[in-house]
Structure 1
């Protein structure tokens, strides 16, 4: 396996915000476009050689291809280990959890949040620092500065990694661990919330809920947590399979785009509780039977009860 140094030229439009760099898929598919930005991330960092990087995304179109490029570039640039979610799947909150639990140097998350996915739709990439949070302005400005002066990037010539098989692999000198996308996050949730009490509620026969994952990243998490760990009936999770185009939907949890859930909660014999989440799983909408709770209000409820965790 050889490390190649590939000449390139800067792109003028690679200024990231706190949500990273977002463009249409065909823009990212331009020769060297993604590679330039990833190399700019690495070139803006210090003392990462031999360290751990976390990689994953929301499953949208181009997620898998981008991850393979990032893995080979991370190996070529000297990272010691990469943790990547099975199938390339890691919600933004789960990626933060994995970064912190494993004391990783940082993480690269592939998502365009609530924007549509597909061959001509949106794609995004963002860097999270070692505390699990998004890169601050000082870091994003350094990335942008590197993107404007880049002249080459490094890439390991190697076969693709099987992202669907949990296990350890080698890319040159770098270890790649394909991890279960849900385990660490599920353990964190169990440490924060009283799962026994929630299980009692969901299995008492008097309370029904519905979770709409909108064919985005939270499907595997919702299936594991609600239906497997907490005993909710199968079928509690709607649209729970992550799809590259989100089932031709728009993974924005609001009254317009989460219409399947809204119709259910405002219909006859409605469940007691409903929720929907966005593309990368860091925003939600909460519904009760025949009423709507705004996302800001649901956050306020969580904050007001934070001392109970």
Structure 2
């Protein structure tokens, strides 16, 4: 391979992702390996750890990726099938490696796949990925013949996960009754090993890895995909239920009454627990998160910071300012106090268990205590990739001219006496996303009317 041109649509802001056979294939995996090996060697590195999820296309893509890395002159440690956080853990804990790549389509449909990359404990994303694209087009790659070894790390990873419960009363943990839904994703084997070692009663759904996702789509942020977990929690009168996405880096929770706790609501619980033990800590949440979260962190004496949407961007900002906790509404939750600063749904679930015991309240009681605003889910409005950023820029310009109160760190978040609404260009889809929140139903309707009026001026409708 002398050079390679990636489909520009697959080099996303946070990772590499596309439809297999149309946008993404074996040659892309090999070229990605060659490019990353070159960057790693230029920085003085020599070894990369590689993992994969359970998609049908993942073994072939992994094989090509490893071939590209070795041809670029770096050694490869293969850890095999597992969740993306296990790859992050391996990169953070194995002294001989300086970077890591997970072959995964995350929460996307079964015919999609991609790569999540970490370099020196930091996300490798955005401009880093675009640089790989430029190098590939020029064939600007190092050459060599790297070695390869296989390492089993699942047991070590699960043992480290369990440290989240150290110091808690075993009797209090023994009363736990929890449901789990791995969704046939890559977290299944780790979940099985984990619950074997957890006190209490644990009922698990779909831990068998199946890249066709036969039971439901691997995205727990779509509430319809939680139907089986809700039914399990209700039928067995469980304390709560936990759902993971296809590669185990996102978490959604269902309480005993069947209510969903999204990422920003889970952050409220985790922040309260953190701030009791580390007063004044900084908590970062993305621009899509509820204002209730930011207000709650402030009320608890913490420093609430609003950041850009994107798991890679939140992790980078946490490192930059030294925040011990961060997350997104979509369920990426990151811990940097007693963990490594990356998003891990399995670890987040254990931290939630620990928080309920330290706070002395169940998940349902903590959910009962939350302010209940009127808000929309994340509404995705189809807009061509070439047009979506322009739409947001046009809306932002008109709002600035009108003197509206806006935050523009990621799209445009508009505050009014009724609450707020947000418009931003999706970094993963041909769409703009809209979300709004108010203290009243009438206020929410007025916010959406304002957003609709702005969108109409740019030729976009909610339909």
Q: So what's the TM-score if we normalise by structure 1?
A: 0.78
Cα distance in 2 for partners of 1:52, 1:232 equals: 40
Select the structure that is richer in helix: 2
* Partner secondary structure for residue 179 of structure 1: coil
* Partner secondary structure for residue 123 of structure 1: strand
Partner of 2:116: 126
**1:222-266, CA deviations, whole angstroms, 9 ceiling, x for partnerless residues?**
11111x111445x6111001111122531111321122102223x
- Could you tell me which of 158, 165, 185 is aligned with 1:186? 158
Give the deviation of 1:38 after TM superposition.
Answer: 2.6
Cα distance in 1 for partners of 2:36, 2:74 equals: 13
- Could you tell me which of 213, 216, 221 is aligned with 2:185? 216
- Please tell me whether residue 298 in structure 1 is matched to residue 266 in structure 2: yes
Give the deviation of 1:111 after TM superposition.
Answer: 1.3
- Please tell me whether residue 256 in structure 1 is matched to residue 224 in structure 2: yes
Q: What aligned pairs does 1:271-286 form with structure 2 within 5 A after superposition? A: 271-286=238-253
Deviates more, 1:242-251 or 1:13-22: 13-22
Deviates more, 1:248-257 or 1:283-292: 248-257
* Partner secondary structure for residue 125 of structure 1: strand
**1:97-139, CA deviations, whole angstroms, 9 ceiling, x for partnerless residues?**
110101321011111211121xxx11111321111x4214342
Contact 2:35-2:72 within 8 A present in 1 as well = no
Cα 1:15–1:208, aligned 2, differ >3 Å: closer, same or farther?
closer
Give the deviation of 1:79 after TM superposition.
Answer: 1.5
Cα distance in 2 for partners of 1:15, 1:239 equals: 29
Higher gyration radius (CA): 2
Contact 2:72-2:141 within 8 A present in 1 as well = no
Cα distance in 2 for partners of 1:29, 1:142 equals: 18
Contact 2:38-2:72 within 8 A present in 1 as well = no
- Could you tell me which of 11, 14, 24 is aligned with 1:16? 11
Cα 1:12–1:271, aligned 2, differ >3 Å: closer, same or farther?
closer
> Which of structures 1 and 2 has the larger relative contact order (alpha carbons within 8 angstroms, sep 6+)?
1
Cα 1:100–1:268, aligned 2, differ >3 Å: closer, same or farther?
closer
In structure 2, list runs of 5 or more residues that go unmatched: 279-337, 339-463
Cα 1:179–1:248, aligned 2, differ >3 Å: closer, same or farther?
same
Cα distance in 1 for partners of 2:118, 2:104 equals: 12
Contact 1:10-1:151 within 8 A present in 2 as well = no
In structure 1, list runs of 5 or more residues that go unmatched: 1-5, 157-171
Cα distance in 1 for partners of 2:70, 2:45 equals: 10
* Partner secondary structure for residue 27 of structure 1: coil
Q: What aligned pairs does 1:35-50 form with structure 2 within 5 A after superposition? A: 35-47=30-42
Contact 2:35-2:141 within 8 A present in 1 as well = no
Contact 1:202-1:208 within 8 A present in 2 as well = no
- Please tell me whether residue 63 in structure 1 is matched to residue 31 in structure 2: no
Cα distance in 1 for partners of 2:138, 2:56 equals: 29
Contact 2:25-2:61 within 8 A present in 1 as well = no
Cα 1:99–1:72, aligned 2, differ >3 Å: closer, same or farther?
same
Cα distance in 1 for partners of 2:9, 2:132 equals: 9
Q: So what's the TM-score if we normalise by structure 2?
A: 0.53
Partner of 2:342: none
Contact 2:6-2:133 within 8 A present in 1 as well = no
Cα distance in 1 for partners of 2:182, 2:159 equals: 20
- Could you tell me which of 28, 33, 38 is aligned with 2:28? 33
Cα distance in 1 for partners of 2:62, 2:25 equals: 16
Give the deviation of 1:202 after TM superposition.
Answer: 5.1
Cα distance in 2 for partners of 1:65, 1:153 equals: 23
